[in-house]
Structure 1
Amino acid sequence: MGRPGARVVASCIGAAFLLVTGCSSNSDEDQAITIAPATAAQSPAQGTAPAGVVHPVGLPIESTTFDPETRTTVVLSGEGNEILLFPAGDFTAAPRTIPLDGAVAQVSLAPGGVALLAMNTQVGRLDLRTGEVTFVPADGDVRSVAQLSDGRLAMGLGNGEIHIVNTETNESQVIDGLTSVDGLAVVGDSLTALDRGQTSVTAVDVPGSALGVALRAGEGATQLTTDHYGRILVTDTTGDELLAYTTDTLMLRQRFPAGLAPYAVAYDDTADRAWVTLTGTNEVVGFDLSSGVGVETARYPTVRQPNSVTVDTVNGDLLIGSATGDGLQQIPTRSS
C-alpha cells in the first residue's frame, strides 16, 4: 500500500516535471517513483594548485557554514560528530572544538547567532558565541532543519515526514508524503523541501499541513541554498546543471550547465554571485544570474573533493571544505 500523499511523474512543464498527488482513482495505489539519491562525484587527484590559501584542519570536512551575526565559520567534521568554530575569519589560531555524542546530518543557521544541527532523534541548537549546545527532541532521524519566520522549527526526516515544532509550547504537526527530506529552504513565510530520492523540490503548505506543488529537479539533485531575491538554487549533480526556482508560486526560472558534477552551492548577496563547487574537476565556479541565463564570472581550482562551500558575507571570501582531509580553502573574490 502506498503512503498517503505519494506522487508520481505526470507531465512536463517547460524543463521541469510536475509531480502531482492523486493521479490514480485510489490514492492508496499511488507509488512514489524513486531513484538512488545522487551524491558528490569522487574527485580526481589534484592537477592544479588550489587558489588562495589552504588552512590545515586535520580532518575531512563535511560542511562549511558562515554566520554573519557572529562572523563565525562553522566546520562540520567528516564523521559528523565534531564541530570546529573559527571566529572572525581567523583560520590561523586553533578553533573552538565542539564534540557531539551523535552524528550531524546537516547544519543550518537561525537568528541570534545559533547553528541548528540535524541529528538522529534530535536537533541541536549551538550558541556560536558561548559554544553551548542544547537539544530539541525529534521523533525520527532528522536529515535537515530550518527555522520558520514565526520561530518554529521545521525538521525534515529520513522517512519523508516534515515535523513542525513549537519549542516553547511543545506543539507539533506532521506533514507526510515525501520519500526523504534532505533539504529545507525558508523564503519569507514559504517552506520548500528537497527530496533526493525523487530528485524533486516541493512547496510545503504549513498552515494546511499538506504538500503543495512539486517539481522534478533535474536528474539527481543534491544541495540547495537561497538568495536575497527569494530564489532557491539547486545543484543537479547527475545532470551537471544549476537550477533556480522562485517560490511565490514554485516555478523553475533558470536551468543551465554548471560543469562536471556540481555539488555544493552558496550565494554572495553583496556581489550577486552564485558559487558552485564541481566535484568532477576540483573547481569552484561563480555565476551571474541577472540576465536570466547563468553567465560564468570566475573559476578557481580547489582542494580535492570540494563537497562544501560558504561565503564570508563581510569580505566575500569563499570557504571551501575538502571531504578528503586536504584542508579548508580561503579564496578572496572581491577586488581590494
Structure 2
Amino acid sequence: MRVRTRWTAGLMAAAVGLTLVACGSDADDSDSSKLDTLPPATAAQSPTDTARPVGTVVPQAAATAIAVAGSTAAVLGADGRTVTLHTAPGGEHTAAPRPIPLPIDGVVDVVAVGDHFLAVGPKGLVRIDVDGRAGLTDVPIDAPLSLAVDGDKVLVGTQKGVLLVLSMNGERLHEYGGYARVDDILVAPDSASEVSGQVSVLDRAQSAVLPIDIDNGDRKASLRAGNGSTNAVVDRFGRIMVTGTRDDEIYAFFGEPIIMRLRHPTPASPFALAYDEKRDLLWVSSTAENEAVAYDLSRGDARERGRIATVGQVTAMTVDPTSGRLLIASGRGDGLQAVAPDVVAP
C-alpha cells in the first residue's frame, strides 16, 4: 500500500539541510567522540494530583518496557530482573499478573517474537514463553540499551554506540559502531511495500534517525529529529514517528532516503508512543500532564482525535493488536493501564 502524501509541508528543505553523513563498517572503528551530540532528553516528572486514569488499572511494579504476544502482555520491571505476564489485561475475569524472575540481571528491553518474548541484558538474550518459562542464550553484550528483531536476525543497540546483529541462537554476525548511542531500533514491516525491511537507529545523543543496511553496514542519509528526541515507533507503512521530548513535538520520517514528512506540536514532555494500525492512530503520552493524546494519521497530517488521563510517569505504551486495547506502563509503579479502543470514536 502506498503511503498518502498529504503530510505537513514546509520543512523538507530544512530537514535535508540537516542531513548527517556516516560511514558503515563491520568493526567498531568509528570515533563516536567526534559526533555532534547534546545531553539526551528526559521525560518531565509527572504530577501526582491529576485526573483518575481512564480504563482499567491492574497492579504492576515500576516498568520500562511492554510487549504483546497473543493475549499476553509482558511488562519489564524497572529492576531489570523481572518480567510480569498479564493475560488479556483490561478484560473480564482475567488471571492475576504473574511476575517471572529472569535468569540474568540488568535486562533493558523486551519485544514480542511470534508466540513468545525476547529480552536482552549484559549476559545475553532471554526467551520468555507465555507460560512463564525463561531460558538464557549466553552472549556477553557491553551496555545493552535496545532490542529489535528483523526476520531471523536479532538487533541489539548499546549505550556505547554499537549496533550488534545476531542470529537467533546468539551468533555474532555483524557489529557496527560510530553512533553515540543506539536508544531504539526501528524495522519497517513487510506491509511497508516501499521501504519494507528498512532498519533505522534512533540516537538520543545526536537526536537523529539514522538508517543502516544491516547486511553490509552501509549508512544511508540520516536526519536530525528536533533538539531532544527520545522514543520512536514504526507503523505499517514504514513511517517512523518520533517524540521530541525537549521541544514538545512529534516528527515523522519516511522514504529512501528518509525525509521529514511531519512536525506537530504536542502537550508538554511527549515521551512514549504507540501505534494502532487498525485505525491509523498514533498515541503520544505527556508525562508533564499525565495524558495520552490520539492523533489520526489516515490523511497524512496529524489530527487530534481525543485525550485520556493516564497513570503517572508513563514509560512505555503499546496497542494490543488482537483486542485493540491501549496498554500503558508506569515508571513509578502506578500500575498497568488498559484502555478500550472505543475511548476514541472512529
- Normalised to the residue count of structure 2, the TM-score between the two structures is 0.84
Say whether residues 1:201 and 2:209 are aligned partners: yes
- Kindly tell me: are residues 46 and 316 of structure 1, through their superposed partners in 2, closer, same or farther at Cα, counting changes over 3 Å? farther
SS in 2 for 1:104: coil
The equivalent of 1:152 in structure 2 is: 153
Q: Which moved more, 1:272-281 or 1:91-100?
A: 91-100
CA gap 1:94/1:278 in 2 versus in 1, 3 angstroms: same
**Does 257-266 or 166-175 show the bigger shift?**
166-175
- Residue 172 in 1 paired to residue 173 in 2? yes
For the residues of structure 2 that align with 1:29 and 1:119, how far apart are their CA atoms?
23
Q: 1:127 aligns with which of 113, 117, 129?
A: 129
Name the SS for the 2:220 alignment partner.
Answer: strand
- 1:320 maps to 328
- Aligned partner of 1:166: which letter? S
Bigger share in strand: 1
Paired with 1:29 and 1:190, the residues of 2 have a C-alpha distance of 23
Aligned to 1:236: 244
1:330 alignment partner, one of 330, 333, 338 = 338
Check 1:30–1:280 CA distance in 2 against 1; reply closer, same or farther (3 A cut): closer
What CA distance in whole angstroms lies between the structure 1 residues aligned with 2:177 and 2:312? 38
Alignment of 1:63-74 (within 5 A): 63-67=65-69, 70-74=70-74
Residue in structure 2 matched with residue 81 of structure 1 by the alignment: 81
Cα separation, 2, equivalents of 1:210 and 1:248: 13
Aligned ranges 1:1-336 → 2 under 5 Å: 13-15=13-15, 17-21=18-22, 31-57=34-60, 59-67=61-69, 70-89=70-89, 92-100=94-102, 101-110=104-113, 112-149=114-151, 151-168=152-169, 170-187=171-188, 188-334=196-342
Q: 1:18 to 1:50 in 2, by over 3 A?
A: same
Q: Could you list the per-position Cα deviations for residues 248-306 of structure 1 after superposition, in whole angstroms to 9, with x for gaps in the alignment?
A: 32221111012111111010111110111101100010001123321100100111112
Q: Is the 8 A contact 2:32 2:180 kept in 1?
A: no
Letter in 2 for 1:37: P
How many residues were matched structurally? 316
- DSSP-derived class of the 2:39 partner: coil
Name the amino acid aligned to 1:103.
Answer: G
The alignment partner of 2:341 has SS state of coil
State the 1:28 CA deviation. Answer: 7.0
Q: Percent of pairs identical after alignment?
A: 33
Q: Give TM-score scaled by structure 1 length.
A: 0.87
Separation of aligned partners in 2, 1:169 and 1:299:
42
Task: Tell me if structure 2 keeps the 8 A contact 1:46–1:282.
Answer: no
After TM superposition, give the deviation of residue 29 of structure 1 in Å. Answer: 11
Instruction: Read off the aligned partner of 1:123 and give its amino acid letter.
Output: L
Where 2:256 maps in the other structure, the secondary structure is: coil
Amino acid at match of 2:119: L
Pairwise CA RMSD: 2.3
Comparing 230-239 with 129-138, greater Cα deviation is found at 129-138
Where does structure 1 differ by over 4 angstroms across 4 or more consecutive aligned residues?
27-30
1:136, CA displacement in angstroms? Answer: 4.4
**Matched AA of 2:155:** A
Question: 2:33 & 2:131 partners in 1: Cα distance?
Answer: 48
